Amino acid sequence: MSQKHILLVDDEDDIREVAGITLEAVGGWRVSTARSGSEGVAKAIAERPDAILLDVMMPGIDGPTTFGLLQAEPSTREIPVILLTAKAQGADLRYFAELGVAGVLTKPFDPMSLPERVAEVLAAAAERSRVEKAE
């Protein structure tokens, strides 16, 4: 099986760098990065990653808008997206969940356990969609 590929969209250099390091080293992902929503959409279309980790608060196109663009594009609609947010209040979380993302991870994250959490979220989302399809 070929190496799984994740696209990391965040305007923060530090976060892209740290998350990239541990997703590669610990999670075994192939990682590509984008520093804005529009770059993220372009790369998602071009690279077809297996998953996208998407920051919520970015200048220009923010995370939820980017997610909307990815949903509108047939070639990226099926890619599971995990939102990454520093705003972890109940109301925000409910809003993000309703968007239809695969999951939400909060910042700050522990770099070492990030790959595991990403894997958990993706597994849970896959399970949900399997159940939905079965219904």
Partner 1 sequence: MPAAVEAVWQRSREQTAGRIETLEEAIGAMLDHSLSEDLRARAERDAHKLAGSLGMFGFPRGSEIARELEQALAAPAPSQAFHLAELALALSAEIESRPAGPEENGDGDAPPADGRALLLVGPDPELIERLSAEALERNFRPRSAATSAGAHELLAMEPPDAAVFDVNFAEGGADEALKLIEDLTGREPPIPVVVLTGSEALLDRVEVSRRGGRGFVQRTRPAAQVIDAVSATMERSDSARFKLLAVDDDPAISDALEALLAPSGMAITTLNDPLRFWEVLAEVAPDLLVLDLDMPKLDGIDLCRAVRTDERFGQLPVLFLTGRTDADSVQRIFEAGADDYVNKPIVGPELVTRILNRLERIKLFRDLAERDGLTGVATRRRATAVLDDFLAMSDRFDQPVSFALFDLDHFKQLNDRLGHTAGDAALRRLGEMFMDAFRGEDVIGRWGGEEFVVGMYGMARDDGVQRIAEVLESLRREEFTSGEGASSRLSFSAGVAEYPRDGGDLHALYRAADDALYTAKAAGRNRVLPVGSKVGAAPECPDVVVVEDDPMLAGVLIDSLETRGYRTRWIDDGQEAVSALAGASPEVSPALIVLDVDLPGLDGLSVLRRLARDDVLRSTRVIMLTARSGEAEVLEALELGAYDHVAKPFSVPVLMQRIRRTLKR
Does residue 116 belong to the site contacting partner 1 (CB under 8 A)?
no
Question: How many residues belong to the site for partner 1 (CB under 8 A)?
Answer: 18
**Closest among 2, 8, 1 to 81, alpha carbons compared:** 8
Site for partner 1 in 47-106 (CB under 8 A): 57, 86-87
| CA 11 to each of CA 22, 53, 54, 77, 94: distance values in angstroms, whole numbers, following the listed order | 18, 12, 10, 22, 24
Does residue 15 belong to the site contacting partner 1 (CB under 8 A)?
yes
The CB-of-18 to partner 1 minimum distance in angstroms stands at 5
Task: Name beta bridge partners: 31.
Answer: 6
Q: Which residues contact 16 (CB under 8 A, 6 or more apart)?
A: 8, 10, 33, 35
Does residue 25 belong to the site contacting partner 1 (CB under 8 A)?
yes
Residues that bind partner 1 (CB under 8 A): 12-15, 17-18, 21-22, 25, 57, 86-87, 107-112
